[in-house]
Homo-oligomer: A and B are copies of this chain.
Amino acid sequence: MLGKMLENVQAKTPLVHNITNYVTVNDVANVILASGGSPIMSAEPKDVYDITSICGGLNINIGTLTTDSIEAMFIAGERAGELGHQILLDPVGAGASALRTNTAVELMEKLNLTVVRGNISEIKTLAMGSGTTKGVDADVADAVTEENLDQAVTFLKDFAKKAGTVVAITGAIDLVSDGEKCYVIRNGRPEMGRITGTGCQLSGMMTAFLVANPDQPLEAAAAAVCTMGLAGEIGWTYMQDGDGNSTYRNRIIDAVYNMTPEKLNEGAKYEVR
């Protein structure tokens, strides 16, 4: 069933406006293209109103905020809201600085978000003003494990309900909930954490999935998570002697490029709680 979500991306070539960090922006663009979407980047306040108007969705990533890009996020976000576009927030490093935390919280309050996607520390920060974000990677103390999974699912459903959006927490086990249902996803590999920006890539690609499947944000978000994780598994099978994280980065994007609805249906490992 999730394969249908990818099929729609490949059929519709959804145009995604990205206001994203300069660290991983190239990979974000290439993975959107790999999935079948079309990316455009703009973070200049004077440019984003027009740019977001011609797109179908907006991916906001706070990984390298500037005063100008924050202004652009609100301009683009409000305009995207007026047009009924899909809007995703990736709160990179929320909890690591006041600017990041406050910006993420304010974006959640003022914009009509479809999805918030982050690691567990970032989402905990948004939910409870706590979490123990250490830099841009989740703190191991926060990790979702088989042992605390029930608690994590309950936490996520509560937060998604309160926030009124779909929320996705990615890590060793990925969770995606709209407040009612929760996808528990077990695709992916731990080595993906040694590549910068697999989370940013997922957020960009997920926005393309949301645009192509506007009536099913929960399923679209879950399908994007499964696609990325499965691409990590498939990419790994092509790794050869001497390969490391840089080649693995390419192999994952390549695997997204070669993903089919059938492969996704077969390889997606999830349960719904």
Contact = CB atoms under 8 A, between A and B. Distances in A.
A255 B247 CA distance: 10
Contact of A47 (B29, B99, B137, B250): B99
Nearest to A29: B196
A188 interface: no
Contact of A54 (B47, B135, B197): B135
Contacts of A64: 41-44
Interface stretch (A65-73, A111-119, A178-186, A206-214): A65-73
Interface string A185-223: 000000000111100000000000000000000000000
A73 B107 CA distance: 27
Best-surrounded residue of A25, A64, A246, A252 (most CB of chain B within 10 A): A246
A55 B93 CA distance: 13
Contact of A50 (B97, B196, B254): B97
16 contacts: A15-B134, A24-B26, A30-B246, A33-B196, A43-B64, A47-B99, A50-B96, A55-B135, A66-B68, A242-B254, A244-B256, A245-B253, A246-B249, A246-B250, A247-B250, A247-B251
Residue in A39, A41, A49, A241 whose Cβ sees the most chain B Cβ within 10 Å: A41
Contacts of A256: 244
Contacts of A99: 44, 46-47, 50
A27 B99 CA distance: 26
Interface of A: 15, 21-27, 29-30, 33-34, 38-44, 46-47, 49-51, 54-55, 63-68, 93, 96-100, 134-137, 194-197, 234-235, 237-238, 241-247, 249-258
A219 to B, nearest CB: 25
Contacts of A42: 64-65, 93, 97
Contact of A242 (B41, B65, B255): B255
A258 B248 CA distance: 13
A34 to B, nearest CB: 5
